[in-house]
Amino acid sequence: MKKSKIILFGATFLVTLGMSFTTPTQATASNRDVTTTTQSNSDVPESVQNAVDDLFDNYLTDETIDIDDASISHPTEETTEGTHYNFNEFSKIPLIKKYLLKSGFSTEEQLNNVKFSYYVHHSDDNGDFDYTYWTQVYAYYDGNLIGSKRVEIKYLSSSEEPTSFYSNPTDLVGQVTATNQEGKQYAPLIDTVNKESNRSLAPKSDWYTDKFMVDKNWGDLFYRVSTSEWVNERYIKPHANTSLKISDLISNSGNKIYQVTDRRVSGQPLYKSNGELWDYTLPDGSKWKVTAIGFDQYGSIYGEVSTDAWIRMNHALK
């Protein structure tokens, strides 16, 4: 690990690792027993109802899904769940595209007037914080529910097992420049082997990095600076990360607002869709209209605030 002094500002934020999901509906034993539900309506064309039934019965998985990336991280889930999408945009959401939707569905043209949404639910039946997770997918025609399906989720998130919070490391060649945690004179590290680290990075120091990983709870990037020690992207300025690719653009963002928070040191970095960084940042506290949302290959969500200028979101839109 090598370092040299340079002058560069970065971003800061204190991250609390954890996992909890809230949804508008309280889980009950009755609604957890539902797998697939069809609600017939005489106003729904038969071809539309048949297409929805075919999709739910044959092309949404019946298997318990094991999520190993940020597809249900807080920002990704909270920004996308509950919104009504057409099928084309719904199928771009990482949880749907990567885990729920099977290939081969051929009657998409019958779904032109159908809107889809989803929620992630959880329940602690025994009161021991051993949560059961599942997602419920809904289909609507003219605002009326015409079908839904529940899919179980296998999700491990334990404060006793730090590696359960992160995706598998990805190779990278580059450098990062440390800033500091706001109010303190260092950039803290996490240790994925020894659970805690008592070491930190000095501000304005430059560090070689060879790998990065994704926090599955919040979608943050962590860059490796020693054998098992990693620094959160909020505490550093990456020189570039072209291993990231932003795709699957969804225009239905609701023209909501993203406010930059906890970035007083250097502002919010902006990415290009090819993973490169712009040479300017957005000031802390500023508000930006998000005209589209997109996702990288690790399930993390981004908001477009200008032409090919993307914020890596760390909280939901307002």
Secondary-structure class of domain 3-11+159-238 per CATH: mainly beta
Which residues are CB-neighbours of 122 under 8 A, at least 6 positions away?
A: 20, 21, 27, 131, 132, 133, 134
Specify the pLDDT at position 160.
56
Write the pLDDT tens digit of every residue in 191-211: 988 777 888 898 888 999 999
Confidence class for position 119, pLDDT limits 50, 70, 90: very high
Specify the pLDDT at position 143.
93
N- to C-terminal Cα separation, the chain: 41
Question: Is the Cα torsion angle 64, 68, 73, 76 positive or negative in sign?
Answer: negative
Q: Which of 109, 121, 113 is nearest to 82 (CA)?
A: 121
Confidence class for position 167, pLDDT limits 50, 70, 90: confident
Specify the pLDDT at position 28.
36
Which residues are CB-neighbours of 294 under 8 A, at least 6 positions away?
A: 246, 247, 248, 249, 250, 273, 301, 302, 304, 310
Specify the pLDDT at position 32.
43
Q: Which of 281, 198, 286 is nearest to 238 (CA)?
A: 281
Average pLDDT over residues 267-272: 88
Residue corresponding to tokens 């990567």: 98
Confidence class for position 93, pLDDT limits 50, 70, 90: very high
Write the pLDDT tens digit of every residue in 231-255: 988 888 777 777 889 999 998 766 7
- Look at 54-68, 121-135, 211-225, 290-304 and tell me which has the smallest mean pLDDT: 121-135
Indicate the pairing of strand 309-312 with strand 268-271.
Answer: antiparallel
pLDDT surpasses 50 at 33: no
For the record, the structure tokens of 192 come out as 């994925």
Specify the pLDDT at position 237.
77
pTM: predicted TM-score of the whole model, two decimal places? 0.81
